[in-house]
Chain A
């Protein structure tokens, strides 16, 4: 524990580094996956192509990805940007399927009636399909957030500072407390981001709780005999 108290500044700095490495990929993967997921959900042909391609992306082992990426995008081998791009690719790979599934989960009757009362394709997407896929998107985003935070530790190996640097450094110098701190802080950060997403979901998707409130309400009341 003394190591922790003596190195609070270091831990805080690595935590910020870690956030800077992992938050942009989470946001970017959501934004990029939206049009791709929409396309995958829209046409049968594009669905097969896009979902297979994104599945394959996720199957690329992370280490070769870090080596090949700089050559492909023209960054230097030790640039943190490599990690951000790699994490975004993994995030997109996960999110595309989530977006496609989320859009597909929207009730067909609701969609039809939205068209019938005069939503255009554009307003229908933003005002009906997207919000109604919210619960599915949120669940997917939580997975992406946690996996991104955990994957970001790998950055330490290619020189991008993060909480992962605490355990690489700890290993090299034989400081057990530093290793443990790195692991615990990573887990805490993942939990924190997850909690933030859940809170954001509560704000953004109020109707999902309304339904539960009614059910809870119904459970509290004694059953009333209804005779037609």
Chain B
């Protein structure tokens, strides 16, 4: 469990990136921080592995205040995946994946063998092991990034817009892969994105952020869709338009769902049970 307690971050230049932020992130679940650019998502994420230290408040991991932990050691115990993979361009794929185990003192041979196995886990061909990152496609690089993040089998995986720079088809693939991995591994994932669809797809808990890391709403995707807390949330998630604003039309004795642009979204089958995703309007 990760707990933010009244955390603020003011950068030396005066920017108040995060203002009195409190949140509990349950273990073995995916929490998605979603908000537009500049809302403080990256700052929040980086505070979890002490890349950034808060100027006020505290953060606890499983009851331990991380301010009391040594930053380098803490980082080696937390997986981190970022946009543009952040792989080391001068190391082969297998060595990139083995990076953190090597830093932690795992013998070279074992680290490499484990890294090869990790390539299987993230769905990469072992034949790519001896390539350099520049010799991979964007999607492959992101997979290597995920493999590197998972290499020390961390409890926590931080992901900062990891699929933001790949094309939509590959992104959808990577998202499904992450869902599969998460079902198998059950990490405490903190995922940052500006894409609402991605947030609703991946998040068990979704946190919608406004400027300064102010929380507009917290909830499951269904909660948020069914009951947007305010106009900001409704407009941010697009509850009032496009493919999320569906209404029922009667057509030849059956109910069909039509979106606000008049496009057919599907048919209504069976009864909706409590807990299922509801549609606005």
Note all chain B residues with C-beta closer than 8 A to A207.
Answer: 89-91, 132, 134
Complex: chain B residue closest to A209, CB-CB: B132
Instruction: Please report the C-alpha to C-alpha distance between residue A113 and residue B169 in the assembled complex, in whole angstroms.
Output: 26
Give which listed residue, A120, A132, A214, contacts B134 with CB less than 8 A.
A214
Q: With A109-B82, A109-B86, A112-B86 in contact, do A118 and B100 touch (Cβ < 8 Å)?
A: yes
A20 interfacial contact with B, CB 8 Å: no
B99 interfacial contact with A, CB 8 Å: yes
Q: Is the CB of B135 within 8 A of A210?
A: yes
Q: Is the CB of B132 within 8 A of A210?
A: yes
> Looking at chain A, what size class is its interface with the partner chain?
20 to 34
Which A106-125 residues sit within 8 Å CB-CB of chain B? 107, 109-110, 112-120, 123
Note all chain A residues with C-beta closer than 8 A to B72.
Answer: 118-120
Counting residue pairs across A and B whose Cβ atoms lie within 8 Å, the total is 71
A128 interfacial contact with B, CB 8 Å: yes
Q: Is the CB of B169 within 8 A of A118?
A: no
B49 interfacial contact with A, CB 8 Å: yes
Note all chain A residues with C-beta closer than 8 A to B149.
Answer: 117
Complex: chain A residue closest to B86, CB-CB: A113
Q: With A109-B82, A118-B100 in contact, do A132 and B75 touch (Cβ < 8 Å)?
A: no
Interface centre among B90, B100, B149, B167 (most CB of A within 10 A): B90
B23 interfacial contact with A, CB 8 Å: no
B80 interfacial contact with A, CB 8 Å: yes
Q: Is the CB of B76 within 8 A of A117?
A: yes
B131 interfacial contact with A, CB 8 Å: yes
A contact patch SS? helix
Q: Is the CB of B167 within 8 A of A110?
A: no
Q: Is the CB of A116 within 8 A of B51?
A: yes
Q: Is the CB of A118 within 8 A of B76?
A: yes
A228 interfacial contact with B, CB 8 Å: yes
Note all chain A residues with C-beta closer than 8 A to B167.
Answer: 228
Q: With A113-B82, A128-B88, A132-B90 in contact, do A211 and B76 touch (Cβ < 8 Å)?
A: no
Q: With A109-B82, A210-B132 in contact, do A114 and B51 touch (Cβ < 8 Å)?
A: no
Q: With A110-B86, A228-B167 in contact, do A118 and B132 touch (Cβ < 8 Å)?
A: no
B273 interfacial contact with A, CB 8 Å: no
B84 interfacial contact with A, CB 8 Å: yes
Q: Is the CB of A116 within 8 A of B90?
A: no
Q: Is the CB of A131 within 8 A of B134?
A: no
Instruction: Please report the C-alpha to C-alpha distance between residue A110 and residue B132 in the assembled complex, in whole angstroms.
Output: 14
Complex: chain B residue closest to A132, CB-CB: B90
Instruction: Please report the C-alpha to C-alpha distance between residue A214 and residue B133 in the assembled complex, in whole angstroms.
Output: 11
Q: Is the CB of B51 within 8 A of A210?
A: no
> Looking at chain B, what size class is its interface with the partner chain?
20 to 34
A205 interfacial contact with B, CB 8 Å: yes
Q: With A113-B86, A118-B72, A123-B103 in contact, do A210 and B131 touch (Cβ < 8 Å)?
A: yes
B187 interfacial contact with A, CB 8 Å: no
Q: Is the CB of A116 within 8 A of B49?
A: yes
B148 interfacial contact with A, CB 8 Å: yes
Give which listed residue, A117, A120, A228, contacts B80 with CB less than 8 A.
A117
Give which listed residue, A118, A131, A210, A211, contacts B75 with CB less than 8 A.
A118
Note all chain A residues with C-beta closer than 8 A to B88.
Answer: 110, 114, 128, 132
Instruction: Please report the C-alpha to C-alpha distance between residue A123 and residue B73 in the assembled complex, in whole angstroms.
Output: 13
Note all chain A residues with C-beta closer than 8 A to B80.
Answer: 113, 116-117
Instruction: Please report the C-alpha to C-alpha distance between residue A128 and residue B80 in the assembled complex, in whole angstroms.
Output: 17
Which B67-88 residues sit within 8 Å CB-CB of chain A? 72-73, 75-76, 80, 82, 84-88
Give chain A's interface residues, CB within 8 Å of chain B: 107, 109-110, 112-120, 123, 128, 131-132, 134, 205, 207, 210-211, 213-214, 228
User: Beyond the given A110-B87, A116-B46, A118-B75, could you list 16 further A-B residue pairs with CB under 8 A, ordered by the A residue number?
Assistant: A110-B89, A113-B80, A115-B75, A116-B49, A116-B51, A116-B80, A117-B148, A117-B149, A118-B100, A120-B72, A132-B90, A207-B89, A207-B132, A211-B135, A213-B135, A214-B135
Residue contacts A-B, CB under 8 angstroms, 22 given: A109-B82, A110-B86, A112-B51, A113-B82, A114-B86, A115-B51, A116-B51, A116-B75, A117-B75, A117-B76, A117-B80, A117-B99, A117-B100, A118-B75, A119-B72, A120-B72, A132-B89, A210-B134, A214-B134, A214-B135, A228-B168, A228-B169
Give chain B's interface residues, CB within 8 Å of chain A: 46, 49, 51, 72-73, 75-76, 80, 82, 84-91, 99-100, 103-104, 131-132, 134-135, 148-149, 167-169
